[in-house]
C-alpha cells in the first residue's frame, strides 16, 4: 500500500476509497463490507421520517460506531434551494460541514444539473460547508465549480448505478490536467474493481462507489477487491506507467537470436 497520506476536506486519511451505505443485503453485511474495504469516508442521506420511528435506527447506530468520516448527500434534490436546505439539515443531524452536493437534472439518467450545482456550491461554500460536488465530466462545469471555490470535484464515471465504468476517460484526463491542485474523485458508474484501478491510474485522488460493492454477489469480498484495486491503481500512478507506443518493441534482446538468417 502507498504510504502517502491523502488530504481532503481538512482531514488526513490513508484510504482513497469512499464507500456508500445503501443497497446492501443487510445492515450487518454493510458493516462487514465497509470494514474490510478500509474506507474512511462513508456516504449517508436524509429521508422523511414518521413520528416515533427511528428509535432503533440500526443503520445509523452501526455507522456511528465505526468512527469513520460521514459524508451526507443531497440525493433527491432537483434544485439548488432543495440541495441547500438538505445540506443545512444534514449539517445539524450528522454534525459535519461536509456535504456531497447532488442536484439532479434528469430522472432517467440522474445526470447532475450543472447550473443548479454551481449555484448551490457557491452558496454552500459561503455558508462554511466543505462541498464535494457530484458533476459530469464536462470541463467547463468543473471550471465553474472551481471558480466558486470548490476544492474537491467529483466527476461521474458513468450514470449512477449503471456499472458501466469510465465512459469518457479523455474528458476525465482533461479535467485532471486542468486542475492539478484540486482533489478529484470519480463518483458514480463504477462497476468492477478494474474501473476503480483505471480511475486511479489517471491520477484521480479517489473513487466513490456504492452499487458496485452492495449489489455484487458477495459484497464483502467485493469490498476487499475494491480496496486492493484502488491501492493498485494509486501505486501504479505513483510508479509512473510506461509510455504507449504505436509499434511493437520486443522485450527479449535481439542480439544472439538463434536461427537468424540461417539459410541466407
Partner 1 sequence: MIEVIVNGKRTAVSSEMNVNELVQELKYTQKGFALALNGTFVSIATYESTVIRDNDSIEILAPVQGG
What is the distance between the alpha carbons of residues 141 and 159, in angstroms, rounded to a whole number? 17
- Nearest CB to partner 1, comparing residues 92 and 264: 92
In the range 235-254, which residues lie near partner 1 by CB under 8 A? none
Of 3, 10, 55, 181, which lies in the binding site for partner 1, with binding defined by CB under 8 A?
55
53 near partner 1, judged by CB under 8 A:
yes
CB of 209 to partner 1, least distance (A): 8
Residue 82 makes contact with partner 1 by CB under 8 A? yes
Task: Determine the interface stretch with partner 1 among 55-63, 148-156, 175-183, 232-240 (rule: CB under 8 A).
Answer: 55-63
* Complex with partner 1: residue 6 or 60, whichever CB lies closer: 60
Q: CA dist 146 to 118, 150, 179, 180, Å? A: 9, 5, 9, 12
**135 or 210, CB closer to partner 1?**
210
> Rounded to the nearest 5°, which phi and psi values hold at 161?
75, 5
Helix (H), strand (E) at residue 125:
helix 114-126
β-partners of residue 220 are none
Q: What is the dihedral of CA 183, 14, 215, 201, to 10 degrees?
A: 60
Nearer to partner 1, 80 or 232 (CB): 80
CA distance 6 to 108: 35
- 3 state SS of 231: helix
Does 160 help bind partner 1 (rule: CB under 8 A)? yes
- The one-character DSSP state at 100 is E
- DSSP 8-state symbol, 103: B
* Member of 9, 17, 21, 150 binding partner 1 (CB under 8 A): 21
> Which of 211, 216, 234, 237 lies at the binding interface for partner 1 (CB under 8 A)?
211
> Nearest 5°: CA angle at 141, between 203 and 237?
0
Residues forming contacts to partner 1 in the complex (CB under 8 A) are 20-24, 30, 43-55, 57, 59-60, 63, 72-73, 75, 81-82, 85-86, 88-90, 92-94, 160-161, 210-211
Amino acid at each position: 500500500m502507498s504510504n502517502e497520506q491523502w488530504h481532503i476536506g481538512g482531514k488526513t486519511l490513508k484510504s482513497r476509497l469512499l464507500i456508500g451505505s445503501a443497497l446492501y443485503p443487510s445492515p450487518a453485511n454493510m458493516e462487514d463490507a465497509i470494514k474490510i474495504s478500509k474506507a474512511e469516508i462513508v456516504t449517508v442521506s436524509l429521508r422523511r421520517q414518521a413520528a416515533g420511528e427511528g428509535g432503533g435506527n440500526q443503520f445509523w447506530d452501526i455507522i456511528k460506531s465505526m468512527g469513520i468520516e460521514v459524508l451526507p448527500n443531497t440525493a433527491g434534490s432537483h434544485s439548488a434551494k432543495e440541495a441547500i436546505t438538505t445540506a443545512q439539515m444534514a449539517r445539524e443531524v450528522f454534525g459535519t460541514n461536509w456535504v456531497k452536493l447532488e442536484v439532479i437534472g434528469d430522472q432517467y439518467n440522474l445526470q447532475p444539473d450543472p447550473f443548479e450545482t454551481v449555484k448551490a456550491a457557491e452558496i454552500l461554500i459561503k455558508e462554511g460547508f466543505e462541498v464535494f460536488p457530484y458533476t459530469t465530466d464536462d470541463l467547463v462545469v468543473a471550471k465553474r465549480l472551481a471558480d466558486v471555490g470548490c476544492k474537491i470535484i467529483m466527476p461521474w464515471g458513468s450514470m449512477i448505478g449503471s456499472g458501466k465504468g469510465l465512459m469518457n476517460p479523455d474528458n476525465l484526463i482533461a479535467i485532471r490536467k486542468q486542475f492539478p491542485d484540486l482533489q478529484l474523485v470519480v463518483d458514480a458508474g463504477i462497476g468492477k474493481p478494474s474501473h476503480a484501478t483505471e480511475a486511479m491510474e489517471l491520477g484521480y485522488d479517489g473513487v466513490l462507489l456504492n452499487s458496485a460493492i452492495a449489489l455484487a454477489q458477495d459484497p464483502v469480498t467485493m469490498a476487499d477487491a475494491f480496496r486492493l484495486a484502488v491501492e493498485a491503481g494509486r501505486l501504479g500512478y505513483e510508479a509512473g506507467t510506461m509510455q504507449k507506443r504505436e509499434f511493437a518493441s520486443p522485450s527479449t534482446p535481439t542480439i544472439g537470436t538463434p536461427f537468424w538468417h540461417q539459410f541466407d
